[in-house]
Chains A and B, each alone.
Chain A
Amino acid sequence: MSVLGLYVPGTGPMHRVPAGPKLLALLVLGAVLIIASHLWLSVGALVFALLLYPAVGLGARRAWRALRVLWPFLLAIGLFQALFVGAWTEGARLCAQLAALVLLANAITLTTRVREMLGLFERLAGPLRHVGVSPDRVALVLSLTIRSIPMVAVALNSAREGYRARGIVGRPHLMVVPVIVHLLRMAEATGEALAARGIDEDERVERA
């Protein structure tokens, strides 16, 4: 559904579990893997994560997509451990551990609506109200961060198109300023939209 690895509509078992228990399970598993530091336990977790995708209706292709993004990092970690530290088993363990945790975190993202996640973060940030932090605003910042990913992609594509249309070759640094200007304009427009929709409740005086 999404190019961003966000929510995929569905009714599978992971879709039915609330965000809190899913994140807690990930936290516990991550802690166990790191504390145990055991090669075969990490490999087992990776196999489990790979089997989880088809089992909960997400399809193996989505697992592959997540790994495809990750493989350069895994390769770099594995090579570093094998060549410079001389511990290939440690490299394999780290790679399996990282891949398993990324796959499981991605599965949670794919089966949890952003609003559900934000609701959870808002509740978790609740105690911060006592030190002057607004949980609403924390949730809003997180949602805007997620929303800004396609915005950055749009800005990059737009700058790249302009760069190519003008026949410029071999000077990619010339795209930096247009991308920054585009992003600043988008940020300003988003701020204006937030205010217009009354989402940021503070009284606001604009004198641009």
Chain B
Amino acid sequence: MLRLEGVSHSYDDRAVLRDVTLDLAEHRIGVIGANGSGKSTLARTLNGLVVPDEGRVSLGEWDTRRHAKHIRRRVGFVFSDAANQIIMPTVVEDVEIGLRSLRLGKAETARRVDEILVRHGLDGHRDHPGHLLSGGQKQLLALASVLVTEPEILVFDEPTTLLDLRNTRMFRRTLAGLEQRVLLFTHDLELLEGFDRVLVMEAGRVAFDGPPADAVPFYLKLMDAADEDGTS
């Protein structure tokens, strides 16, 4: 189980996370909040991309301060701009490179890569340059590159921000089919349908924690109140 204990983090003088304590065990957890509420930083603490100034983020006996390498193998991360996640020139090479550090051997590497490319409809693009794929295909490639390492938990940081409606729907179907535990940081409230738990972030704190049926109305009220403050 992912656990955050008293997590605080600042960028220079600006506090972005303030004393966040959470146990994240559910199969589908959503995190929503306005821009600057601390969502992205919270997401990045979960696989050690950001090590908090104070507090501890742990997965079982490992914590991100000392065992980031182990945690990253179990917690996959998908960024909002998939293009930035594509490292190698072609699709097949990009999926493959994540397995290099696992030293699986040629046959097992090829088996895993072939299987993931077929499963996500990228087999026909295996020798294409990744950066020339469509937005939806890039997001699929980013996901396939993470899934090939077989993580237990997937963290998505605003995965549909750059996608059109058709690709957002495709992403939603892909998300629904994933066996892994998912932590979805998003502005797209429709994606949270069927989720077990939703956290609402505000000013670096968890302002609400509950089922989507309660969390979404809470968030909408929060945004309405912010609108009124802004216009009055």
Contact = CB atoms under 8 A, between A and B. Distances in A.
Interface in B78-93: 79, 81, 84-90, 93
B90 A7 contact: yes
B129 A196 contact: no
A99 B47 CA distance: 49
Nearest to A198: B72
Contact of B49 (A9, A146, A154, A206): A206
A177 interface: no
24 contacts: A6-B89, A6-B129, A7-B127, A113-B90, A113-B93, A114-B88, A114-B89, A115-B96, A143-B89, A143-B93, A144-B87, A147-B131, A192-B49, A193-B84, A195-B48, A196-B77, A196-B85, A197-B77, A197-B87, A198-B101, A203-B68, A205-B68, A206-B50, A208-B50
Interface in A144-202: 144, 146-147, 150-151, 154, 186, 189-190, 192-199, 201-202
A189 B44 CA distance: 12
A2 interface: yes
A156 B130 CA distance: 19
B140 to A, nearest CB: 16
A193 B11 CA distance: 20
A162 to B, nearest CB: 18
Count chain B CB atoms within 10 A of each CB in A9, A143, A194, A196 and give the residue with the most.
Answer: A196
A1 interface: yes
Contacts of B100: 136, 199
A136 B97 CA distance: 11
A68 interface: no
Interface of B: 11, 44, 47-51, 53, 65-69, 72-73, 76-77, 79, 81, 84-90, 93, 96-98, 100-101, 127-129, 131-132, 145-146, 149
Interface in A1-48: 1-4, 6-7, 9
Nearest to A115: B93
A206 B77 CA distance: 16
A61 interface: no
B149 A197 contact: yes
Closest 7 CB pairs of A and B: A189-B84, A196-B77, A198-B72, A9-B127, A193-B85, A150-B131, A115-B93
A207 interface: yes
A201 B101 contact: yes
Given A198-B98, A208-B50, A189 B81 contact: yes
B89 A198 contact: no
A130 interface: no
A143 B88 contact: yes
Contact of A143 (B11, B69, B87): B87
Nearest to A143: B88
A207 B53 CA distance: 8
A203 B69 contact: yes
B72 A196 contact: yes
A206 B93 contact: no
A2 B129 CA distance: 7
A129 interface: no
Contacts of A146: 89
Given A197-B72, A199-B101, 11 more contacts: A3-B132, A4-B129, A7-B127, A9-B127, A115-B97, A190-B87, A193-B87, A199-B98, A201-B69, A206-B44, A206-B51
A114 B48 contact: no
A142 to B, nearest CB: 11
